[in-house]
Amino acid sequence: MDQSNQPEKQLTRRERRELEQRRARENPGQGARDMSRKKAARRSIIGAITIALFAGIVWFTFFGPSRPARERPGQAFPIQGRAHIAVGAPHEAYNSNPPTSGSHYEQPEVWGVYETELPDEQLIHNLEHGGIWISYRDIDATTKASLEKIARSQSKVVMEPRAKNDAPIVLASWGRLQEFQAYDEQAILAFIEANRNQSPEPLAQ
């Protein structure tokens, strides 16, 4: 049976392929153009899929769902809002020590290690941006050096001495807090990894 007289929809895949090959032999120019169009279409499809996958990865990385709080280390505290206040202005009492949310100054502190105590109201803004706040009191030089090493090796971490702490070492993130009676590198790194960027405004830096 002459396949060229059959409607192409009725042909099997093999018959369609044979028909295309026959047409290409009979009209080499048309066959090349058909092949070029098919290659261009495939490239367009592959390109569109690649772009969509890349866009999906970027979206998930920066805007995807946060890790559930129950799976993260530390104690959770109710969020007290994130209103900006003037430096020195009165505000509501915080519900944790150090605070993990609430009214704060408009300007966050630069990430890094500090030798003097900073205002709580300023560092809350760092937490709002997804940072980790390491504070300490009454620790020995070896422990302090170990904490500084962690703070300098991690992104979005601020470290300072804080006399009001209830424990020798305290790590805070937005809405979350963990106290340490002694230095525990593995647990400290786990808190940082799990709680960094778990905030309403997780900036890249």
Concatenated DSSP letters for 67-119? Answer: PPGGGSSSEE-------EE-TT---PPPSSSS--SSSEESSPPPSEE-SS---
pLDDT > 70: percent of the chain = 80
Q: Give tens-digit pLDDT for 116-135.
A: 999 999 999 999 999 999 99
Q: Any idea where the domains of the chain sit in the sequence?
A: 3-63, 69-195
| Number of neighbours of residue 25 by Cβ within 10 angstroms | 9
Phi, psi of 112 (to 5 degrees): 150, -170
What is the Cα gyration radius of the chain? Answer: 30
Q: What is the helix (H) or strand (E) element at residue 159, kind and residue range? A: strand 157-161
For residues 143-161, give the mean pLDDT. Answer: 98
Out of 8-22, 28-42, 151-165, least confident range: 28-42
Q: Give tens-digit pLDDT for 27-77.
A: 666 555 666 676 777 787 887 787 877 665 654 444 444 555 567 899 999
Residues 99, 162: Cα–Cα separation, whole Å: 12
| Number of neighbours of residue 39 by Cβ within 10 angstroms | 10
Phi, psi of 54 (to 5 degrees): -65, -45
pLDDT score of 8? 52
The mean pLDDT value of the chain amounts to: 86
Residues 22, 12: Cα–Cα separation, whole Å: 15
In contact, 188 and 163? CB cutoff 8 Å = no
More confident residue, 44 or 167: 167
pLDDT score of 62? 46
In contact, 113 and 148? CB cutoff 8 Å = yes
In contact, 126 and 111? CB cutoff 8 Å = yes
Tokens of 46: 């592959």
Class of domain 69-195: alpha beta
Indicate the DSSP class of residue 52: H
